[in-house]
């Protein structure tokens, strides 16, 4: 009997060992365009926030409490990347996005956005360093939001390089809405810089007295998703509305996107109007809004891979509050399809990326978050 119990235990032990070595998969998902499965690549990430792909097939993932993690061959390296700047993990702040320099293969430069302490409180900053093994070397801060404050919300912050090599940094209003209309304040704006932090000569407000020269656009509440359009190369972004009124916009030089003067959202719990309503001369209308319910968008990507051929060109947006992945198809700047995928299947979706292998990758924002991959089922590619 003892031998039998030992054999049974051994069989179950081997089973669980093999199960732990194999990627976990969700049930088959049937969408309007494709059938796919969800494969868990890595589990046990603490509030993961941003993701980027390394040329050698690896990945870098940020964890909001302040760790930068390496993933190689589907395994999470237990040793975090060292050399990060001091990070203030408070409220919604912490280590946020990560991006590679366009010439990373030659210069090894990695960029991170994060909340940092300083005079007046905390605020979004951006630093860069060379990734050498498990360490960032020659780290330098290239942007600091000014002024800082003691609020723990609305830090932004996505990092996107455009085709000309300019770095865009998306920010939030820090929970102090009036700041988004103030030219001497970085909060509530999108920033545009050279890769080393210098201000481009053609930034729209550089020559205006009283304006922060780094500002590219103003009137944003909290921008947590941004991506380049695959045809035009323009920066598209979404932002959180208040109660309702999440938006998608094309970010263009000198534009004012309205917050808090205009919005399609309303005051929390009251349903009352914010500002002047939904329209005001000189302020940009969004391409798309979510009303009356906010989805709380975070992360976005245009899909241009070869795995999901009927999704090519579509925009994918993660949702925190609604816990889903949103697929949008545009005809120019007009939404012609909207599909909600994986509703409450994975929890809060923080980031969405189109991988160089043609798969879609998602980060789930939980204390024990995960990196998952969407794969088409046989015959779907």
Angle, vertex CA 360, rays to CA 366 and CA 344, nearest 5: 40
322-345 per-residue burial string, b: 16 or more CB within 10 A, e: under 16: bbbbbbbbbeeeeeeeebebbeee
Taking the mean position of all CA atoms in its chain, how far away is CA 165? 19
- Scanning 22-166, the segments in alpha helix (DSSP H) are 104-107
**Residue 360 · residue 347 · CB < 8 Å:** no
The single-letter DSSP state of residue 247 is: E
Q: Which residues contact 345 (CB under 8 A, 6 or more apart)?
A: 26, 29, 38, 323, 324
317/325 Cα distance (integer angstroms):
6
Catalytic residue chosen out of the listed positions 101, 154, 240, 288: 154
Long-range contacts of range 328-333, CB-CB < 8 Å, 24 or more positions apart? 328/248, 328/288, 330/287, 333/250, 333/287
34 is catalytic: no
Taking the mean position of all CA atoms in its chain, how far away is CA 223? 9
Taking the mean position of all CA atoms in its chain, how far away is CA 28? 26
Q: Which residues contact 298 (CB under 8 A, 6 or more apart)?
A: 224, 225, 318, 319, 320, 349, 350, 351, 365
Nearest to 125 by CA among 160, 102, 162, 96: 96
Catalytic machinery residues: 154
């Amino acid at each position: 009997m003892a031998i039998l119990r030992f054999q049974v235990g051994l069989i179950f032990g081997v089973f669980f060992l093999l199960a732990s070595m194999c990627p976990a998969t969700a049930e088959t998902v049937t969408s309007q365009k494709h059938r796919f499965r969800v494969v868990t690549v890595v589990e046990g990430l603490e509030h993961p926030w941003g993701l980027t792909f390394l040329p050698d097939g690896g990945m870098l993932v940020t964890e909001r409490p302040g760790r930068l993690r390496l993933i190689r061959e589907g395994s999470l390296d237990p040793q975090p990347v060292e050399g990060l700047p001091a990070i203030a993990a408070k409220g919604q702040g912490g280590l946020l996005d990560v991006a590679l320099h366009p010439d990373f293969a030659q210069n090894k430069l990695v960029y991170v956005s994060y909340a940092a302490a300083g005079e007046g409180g905390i605020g979004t900053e951006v630093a860069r360093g060379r990734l050498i093994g498990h360490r960032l070397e020659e780290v330098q801060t290239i942007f600091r939001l000014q002024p800082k404050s003691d609020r723990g919300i609305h830090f932004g912050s996505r990092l996107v390089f455009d085709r000309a090599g300019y770095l865009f940094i998306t920010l939030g209003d820090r929970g102090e809405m009036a700041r988004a209309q103030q030219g001497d304040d970085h909060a509530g704006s999108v920033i545009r810089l050279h890769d080393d932090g210098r201000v481009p000569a053609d930034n729209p407000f550089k020559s205006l007295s009283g304006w922060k020269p780094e500002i590219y656009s103003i009137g944003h509440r909290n921008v947590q998703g941004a991506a380049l359009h695959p045809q035009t190369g323009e920066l598209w972004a979404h932002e959180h509305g208040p109660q309702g009124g999440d938006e998608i916009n094309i970010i263009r030089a000198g534009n004012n996107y309205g917050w808090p003067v205009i919005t399609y959202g309303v005051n929390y719990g009251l349903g009352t109007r914010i500002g002047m309503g939904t329209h005001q001369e000189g302020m940009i209308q969004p391409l798309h809004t979510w009303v009356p319910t906010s989805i709380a968008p975070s992360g976005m990507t245009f899909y241009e891979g070869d795995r999901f051929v009927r999704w090519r060109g579509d925009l994918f947006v993660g949702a925190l509050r609604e816990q889903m992945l949103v697929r949008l198809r545009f005809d120019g700047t007009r939404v012609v399809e909207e599909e909600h995928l994986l509703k409450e299947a994975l929890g809060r979706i923080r980031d969405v990326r189109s991988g160089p292998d043609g798969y879609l990758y998602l980060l789930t924002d939980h204390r024990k978050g995960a990196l998952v991959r969407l794969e088409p089922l046989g015959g779907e590619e």
